Amino acid sequence: MKNYHKDSPETIQSMFGSIAKSYDRTNALLSFQLHRYWNPSLVKHTIAQSDSKVADLCCGTGEITWTWLKKALPNQTAYLIDFCPEMLECAKLKAQNLKLDLAHKLSFIQADVQELPLDSDSIDAMTVAYGIRNVKNPDKCFDEAYRTLKVGGKLGILELTEPKNPFLRFGHNLYLKTLLPKIGGLISSNRQAYEYLSQSIVAFTKPEELALRLKNANFSDIKITPLTGGIATIITAKKS
């Protein structure tokens, strides 16, 4: 059995590489299509109409970027950053299929979000969807986000979380421990990957603690927005 752990980033990189091609299909099924509501909510809470330069951290197949650009004016700039080359290849293919690479300036960057290859004070808005729980040291990512955002720029985090309601939490935990690994394993042929992802949701930092860590990174105007009873949560913060 493969041992995936965020303290060994190479194992997480390998894991995401192994499920990259089936990632979107599996997520759609496992989220009961709720991601189609969650992703636009993150864009709405994070990216302003006037923002033209956005960085999508832990971008995966680029779903957050595509959600934004499908409704954006032409000639926007997007930096899609992920440490998994297979995910970036999927993102490039989707950009070509959607013809977004013709209407906008897209940069696909393989990099560690703890060391962003971006200039200081250069980004209007930044998103991290379903990825911060896989980062070895989230505080380093927050420091880098603060450095690279412009003054007034916003960071938006979308993460899968545990509901506070005890009945909903019981059903949620049962789903994570039983159905999610089985279904994810059947579609991706890597059950261990979805066992890790299930465990990472339960073990991840609570939104309130994440908000405190953002405050310690000098962010202000921090807001927590639960989605679907707290199954997912958006946390936004501003560089002032």
Confidence of residue 81 (pLDDT cuts 50, 70, 90): very high
- Report the relative pairing of strands 77-82 and 53-57 from DSSP bridges: parallel
Which tens digits make up the pLDDT trace of 86-127? 999 999 999 999 999 999 999 999 999 999 999 999 999 999
Q: Which of 187, 13, 24 is nearest to 179 (CA)?
A: 187
| Predicted pLDDT of residue 2 | 64
Task: Say how many Å lie between the first and final Cα of the chain, rounded.
Answer: 46
* pLDDT score of 215 more than 90: yes
DSSP 120: T
Indicate the CATH number of 9-238 among 3.40.50.150, 3.40.50.2300, 3.30.420.40, 3.40.50.1360. 3.40.50.150
* pLDDT score of 51 more than 80: yes
Residue 150 · residue 122 · CB < 8 Å: yes
Measured distance CA(177)–CA(148) in Å, rounded: 38
Measured distance CA(204)–CA(51) in Å, rounded: 30
Confidence of residue 4 (pLDDT cuts 50, 70, 90): low
